[in-house]
Amino acid sequence: MTSGARVGANLATLANAVLGVGAILYILAGNKLWAMLLIGCGVGFDGLDGLLSRRAGGPPSAEGRVLDSVADAITFGIAPAALVVVHTEHSSLWAPWYPYTLLVGFLVAGLALGRLVYFTWRGWQRPHFVGASTPQNALAVIGLLLFLDVPAFVGTNPLGVLVVATFLALLMVFPVPYPKLRRGMPLRWAMLATAAALGVSLVPLQFHPSVGSSFYVVGEIAATVAVIGLAAYYLVGPWVARAESTARASGGMYE
């Protein structure tokens, strides 16, 4: 059971990396919506990787941490950066902003990589994350682009994308605690519902529905729910992490 769980964890890590590569290729081909869906699936496999690793028991291996961070760097670092940089739709609106998209894209990828290097080296030992996690940042970037880039629910807004994407990237390295979503934690279920809402939004949008159609409305409503959930995590997460630390200090803790 232990060896089987470890093999399963490694396969989940590999699947995460493959999905990240696929997302990058879709972005370069001009299909951001498929890329967003693949990144979302990568978040699921990243969670499965962690679940199987815990079931395997024993201390986490250095090799496993490195492989997981490499996969995360592709799917939650490079792919979201590519979402910010590459714009095949509304290209005339984005053209004047191209130098800035490159700068913000490098910032997103660079800070994600720096965060993952720190986590692999030392951060995994902490009971909580220092700064928002890279999967969380990737989901937030997707939510941002759904409203301000493709399909642009509230209109294409390059400046808004660049400002918010920069802020989200910085939150990955700010020394603010964010909880690891362990079993038994109420916030875990809220974030699972948020991820599910994002999936519900992305699936019908793959058909490029016309504005006002049933699929479009479903996608917009589900995306709104997901963005509200993501915003709540960024606001509530630090408080939950501090409360968890207090509970650990007093002898209680989540599983």
Number of other residues whose CB lies within 10 A of the CB of residue 162? 19
Integer angstrom CA distances of residue 18 from 56, 75, 85, 169, 218: 23, 8, 21, 23, 29
Q: For residues 25 and 17, give the distance between their C-alpha atoms in angstroms, rounded to a whole number.
A: 13
Residue 164 is predicted with a pLDDT of 98
pLDDT tens, residue order, the chain (255 aa)? 456 677 888 899 999 999 999 999 999 999 999 999 999 999 999 989 888 877 776 656 778 788 999 999 999 999 999 999 999 999 999 999 999 999 999 999 999 999 999 988 886 778 889 999 999 999 999 999 999 999 999 999 999 999 999 999 999 999 999 998 877 777 888 898 999 999 999 999 999 999 999 999 999 999 999 999 999 999 999 999 988 878 776 765 544
| 3-state secondary structure at position 49 | helix
- How confident is the model at residue 1, as a pLDDT? 43
Domain ranges across the chain = 2-249
Contacts of 122 (CB under 8 A, 6+ apart): none
SS3 212: coil
Look-up: residue for tokens 């200090």?
249
Amino acid letter, residue 19: L
pLDDT in the model for residue 248? 73
